[in-house]
């Protein structure tokens, strides 16, 4: 039986000009995951990243913590189908006025609970996206792309172990596919996925089965207080 580890990227640079970069903590989370795999002598036949900078940075930091003997003959590749949806477009279609970054930050700063305000704003934007409308990539298109990416890992080999570095939206969409979740449940699940949390699938040709969801024991066991983040 094969194994597929779906890893959400480490903490990115929220609030910075370029979100698609790991924060200092994000790099540390990725290293902690790699240390965990080194301690358990986990070998990977394939390393896949979703093509975004934060995906590759997470992959490099994580795999860099493994001894070279565990990476002999490991295949590395990029699959853009594992990329996250365009969260900026989803937000701006709901609130076009927030194209002004200063106005956006001012609104949040003036709120009693800025993180809560941002979460509610993004929930509303996600609901609008899922309900349909004019987007470069619709919700069904995104979901189908994620499923296509997973199916691309469906090989005849029943014993390969693959690790995929991707994003929370991708993992949540795949859980909808595997578990039959409703759209609202997918949105709620997305908010609970930890940075560098691991979702493990078991694989037989033509079949994927969920083994564990959003495991971040490596951060709790090896990390310092505050190592577990969700944004």
Q: Do 203 and 129 share a domain, yes or no?
A: no
pLDDT score, position 100: 76
Q: How confident is the model at residue 19 (pLDDT cuts 50, 70, 90)?
A: confident
Contact 216, 198 (CB under 8 A): yes
pLDDT score, position 9: 98
Judge whether 112 lies within some domain: yes
Q: Do 15 and 122 share a domain, yes or no?
A: no
Q: Do 128 and 151 share a domain, yes or no?
A: no
pLDDT at 158 over 90: no
pLDDT score, position 24: 94
pLDDT at 211 over 90: yes
Q: Do 73 and 155 share a domain, yes or no?
A: yes
* Alpha carbons 165 and 136: distance in angstroms, whole number: 24
Q: Do 154 and 110 share a domain, yes or no?
A: no
Q: Do 72 and 101 share a domain, yes or no?
A: no
Domain hosting 131: range is 86-136
Residue 180: exposure state from Cβ atoms within 10 A (0-12, 13-18, ≥19): exposed
Q: Do 53 and 112 share a domain, yes or no?
A: no
Residues whose CB falls within 8 Å of the CB of residue 131, separated by 6 or more in sequence, listed in order: none
Report the range of poorest mean pLDDT among 7-21, 63-77, 124-138: 7-21
Nearest alpha-carbon partner for 36 in 200, 205, 230: 200
Per DSSP, the three-state class of 214 is: strand
pLDDT at 208 over 80: yes
* Alpha carbons 134 and 64: distance in angstroms, whole number: 41
Q: What is the pTM of this model?
A: 0.93
Give percent above pLDDT 70 in the chain.
97
pLDDT at 16 over 60: no
Q: Do 122 and 147 share a domain, yes or no?
A: no
pLDDT score, position 105: 74
- In sequence order, what are the beta bridge partners of 93? none
Q: Do 147 and 207 share a domain, yes or no?
A: yes
Report the range of poorest mean pLDDT among 15-29, 107-121, 128-142, 178-192: 107-121
The domain tally of the chain equals 2
| The domain boundary residue, chosen from 71, 106, 136 | 136
Q: Do 14 and 67 share a domain, yes or no?
A: yes
Q: Do 104 and 146 share a domain, yes or no?
A: no
Q: How confident is the model at residue 159 (pLDDT cuts 50, 70, 90)?
A: confident
Q: Give the domain CATH number at 198.
A: 3.40.50.1240
Taking CA atoms, 108 is separated from 98, 115, 121, in Å, by 11, 8, 10
Bigger pLDDT: 22 vs 101: 22
Q: How confident is the model at residue 145 (pLDDT cuts 50, 70, 90)?
A: very high
Greatest pairwise CA separation for the chain in angstroms:
55
Q: Do 79 and 92 share a domain, yes or no?
A: no
pLDDT at 195 over 90: yes
> Residues 16-21: what's their mean pLDDT?
73
| The domain boundary residue, chosen from 136, 154, 170 | 136
Judge whether 179 lies within some domain: yes
Residue 74 CA neighbour count, 13 Å, CB half: 21
pLDDT score, position 116: 79
Q: Which string of DSSP letters, residue by residue, matches 157-192?
A: -SS-EEEEEE-HHHHHHHHHHHHT--HHHHHHHHHH
* Alpha carbons 191 and 205: distance in angstroms, whole number: 31
């Amino acid at each position: 039986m094969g194994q597929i580890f779906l890893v959400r990227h480490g903490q990115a640079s929220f609030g910075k000009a370029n979100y698609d970069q790991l924060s200092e903590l994000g790099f540390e989370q990725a290293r902690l995951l790699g240390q965990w795999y080194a301690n358990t002598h986990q070998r990977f036949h394939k390393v896949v990243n979703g093509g975004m900078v934060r995906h590759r940075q997470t992959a490099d930091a994580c795999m860099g913590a493994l001894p070279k003997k565990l990476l002999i003959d490991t295949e590395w590749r990029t699959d853009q189908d594992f990329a996250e949806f365009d969260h900026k477009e989803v937000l701006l279609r709901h609130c076009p006025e927030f194209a002004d970054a200063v106005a956006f930050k001012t609104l949040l700063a003036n709120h009693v609970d800025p993180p809560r305000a941002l979460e509610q704003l993004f929930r509303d934007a996600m609901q609008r996206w899922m309900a349909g409308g004019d987007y470069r990539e619709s919700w069904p298109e995104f979901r189908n792309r994620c499923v296509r990416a997973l199916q691309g890992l469906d090989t005849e080999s029943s014993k390969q172990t693959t690790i995929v570095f991707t994003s929370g939206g991708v993992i949540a969409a795949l859980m909808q596919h595997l578990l039959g979740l409703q759209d609202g449940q997918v949105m709620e699940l997305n908010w609970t996925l930890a940075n560098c949390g691991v979702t493990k699938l078991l694989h037989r040709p033509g079949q994927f089965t969920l083994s564990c969801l959003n495991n971040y024991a490596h951060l709790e066991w090896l990390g310092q207080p505050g190592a577990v983040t969700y944004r």
